[in-house]
Amino acid sequence: MASGYLTRKETEVKVAMARRVKNKTPAPIQITSEQILREARERQEAEIRPPNQKITDQTEVADYRLRKRKEFESLISRVGWNKSVWVKYAEWEESQNDLKRARSIWERALVVDALNRDHTIWLKYAHMEMKNKFVDHARNLWDRAVIRLPRVDQLWYKYIHMEEMLGNVAGARGIFERWMGWMPDQQGWLSYIKFELRYNEIERAREIFERLVQCHPKVIAWIRFAKFEMKNGEIGRARSCYERAVDKLADDDEEAEQLFVAFAEFEDKCRETDRARCIYKFALDHIPKGRAAEDLYSKFVAFEKQYGDREGIEDTIVGKERFQYEDQVKMNPRNYDTWFDYIRLEESVGNKERIREVYERAIANVPPAEEKRYWQRYIYLWINYALYEELDAQDMERTRHVYRECLKMIPHHKFSFAKIWLLAAQFEIRQLRLKEARLLLGEAIGRAPKDKIFKKYIEIELHLGNIDRCRKLYEKYLEWSPENCYAWSKFAELERSLYETERARAVFELAIDQPALDIPELLWKAYIDFEISEGEFERTRALYERLLNRTKHLNIENNFGELPKKLKKRRQIDMEDGPAVYEEYIDYLFPEEMPANNLNILASAYKWKKQRVASKD
């Protein structure tokens, strides 16, 4: 290469390709892992260790100390932020019995800002002073430490422990008071209480408990206070603690269940069974809905099984089921089947206020979308609520209010429920408020007309004998749904029942003239049956002819053939004063009156034709 550069091919890294193993049989001599490790151990080179030094005189000691101090100072200059370097340096100086130098190193370490906030430096420094019995130095150091880091509990504990070991109880109490001024956690207060109890200072401990529940108004603090009083035989004071805790924490504390259980168990230990039962019931009534209370219920059930009767046990079981339903509706508030089960449970108990509360909570969970399929189960909550108020609670004003609120909530511009309108109207009728019922049904027709509403409204007016209202309703019904053959037939049937034949016929005529009908054969059949029942065979025949002009259905032709034949006959009239006279008249021959021979001939002909067609096939 004249240019002095390598080509790409020459600089490529060539990876050795894996070769196929030709002989896969096992080797005659197998090598184990133990052999490999043994050989590695045998071939391992000896470890190089520094020679042992022996110091024989003060000059060598001074040289050794100087060399170590230079090493430590060099490390500090490089990694002064590393606390382990300072700790090792100070501990080495302490091991050399040079406490002044050790103290100087600790003080230099505390000057470093990062180490000044590290409580382990303070602890090791103070531990050195205490170990060497420099009490005043240690006390001053603890004072500096708790002033610098007042939130580190370990510093306070160590300081107090030192004073207590020295027998300085008043000093230890003073340190506790300084610490309590910083409002530490409950453990700090409890340590103060245990300190006072070690010296039988019951009143002081009680005062500290009072300060504790003011600083940390938690359930566990009140329970400990009550147990303290119970342990000292102060039953009244213990009960007062529980009562004060209930007044402050029963409504808003998340651990109220634990408080009630402890209070009830306290009364149980005091043989106050009635008090314990009242506490359990109060707890079940006042714990917010949706909060889990398994422990409370299990304790209450066990209590009732031990002291209660059958009714009390049943009430407890019902309460447990109630909270199970509360958990379910909390997880899925729009599970209406769960609400129905919950309501049935409350209705079995019979507490009106609780039943109404559950109904109100259930109907507050409105479906998320204005689509009828989401409302079909929900609407029955309102229906059951109204029926409960009317039949069980017998509060008619509240029932009326429920129906009105339900009708306000339904989005009638998208869909409606005829059953709600009808139930509300029927309720007003039962209350003899016919005017209000008519207003409701009229509003229903105006806002959300439905077949069911028209039919029921007409039925009501018909029972009341208001024929003119029925006619007006049928007119509105047919204006809204002119293709409804059922409505036309019923309208005509109404007129016929009133012997208004011409009106009925006019209704039928209007009906068959409609351009579109849903079930036209039903309407034509009703019209034809009407004319036959009136004996108007000519009109019937004309109707059949009009119908055949519109359709060629075989059944229509057969039915037309079954009409009576119109025959012109003559009959003789005997005259007294002369010869006989013949008079012509019109007679009708019905199919069932035809001679049997003719029928037999037709039947035989039909049979012969059927056999002939079969033989050809």
Task: Classify burial at 119, counting beta carbons within 10 Å of its beta carbon; exposed 0-12, middle 13-18, buried 19 or more.
Answer: middle
d(CA 202, CA 216): 21
564: left (phi over 0), alpha (psi -120 to 50) or beta: beta
Place of tokens 């002064």: 80
Contact 473, 454 (CB under 8 A): yes
Pairing of strands 565-573, 581-589: antiparallel
Domains 79-182 and 482-561 equal at CATH topology level: yes
Residue 55, Cβ neighbours under 10 Å: how many?
11
Output the CATH code of domain 79-182: 1.25.40.10
Task: Classify burial at 424, counting beta carbons within 10 Å of its beta carbon; exposed 0-12, middle 13-18, buried 19 or more.
Answer: buried
DSSP per-residue letters across 99-135: HHHHHHHHHHHHHSHHHHT-HHHHHHHHHHHHHTT-H
Place of tokens 């079995």: 348
Q: Which of 527, 465, 464 is nearest to 501 (CA)?
A: 527
Alpha-carbon dihedral sign for residues 372, 373, 376, 382: negative
Question: What digits encode the pLDDT tens for the residues 40-64?
Answer: 888 887 777 777 777 777 888 888 8
Low-confidence ranges of the chain (pLDDT < 50): 1-2, 290, 552-554, 556-563, 588-590, 596-599
pLDDT of amino acid 137:
92
pLDDT of amino acid 560:
43
The H-or-E segment that residue 556 falls in is helix 554-561
pLDDT of amino acid 467:
87
pLDDT of amino acid 596:
47
Place of tokens 């069911």: 452
Task: Classify burial at 227, counting beta carbons within 10 Å of its beta carbon; exposed 0-12, middle 13-18, buried 19 or more.
Answer: middle
- Domain borders along the chain are 79-182, 482-561, 565-616
Q: Which of 177, 215, 182 is nearest to 196 (CA)?
A: 177
pLDDT of amino acid 534:
76
Pick the CATH number of 482-561 from 2.60.40, 1.25.40, 1.10.10, 3.10.50: 1.25.40
d(CA 373, CA 47): 85
Question: What digits encode the pLDDT tens for the residues 503-549?
Answer: 888 888 888 888 877 788 787 888 788 778 777 777 777 777 777 66
pLDDT of amino acid 199:
92
As given in the structure block, the two tokens for residue 191 are 């340590």
Q: Which of 128, 92, 127, 85 is nearest to 108 (CA)?
A: 85
pLDDT of amino acid 308:
65
CA distances from 337 to 91, 181, 377, 405, 609 (A): 74, 56, 8, 22, 66
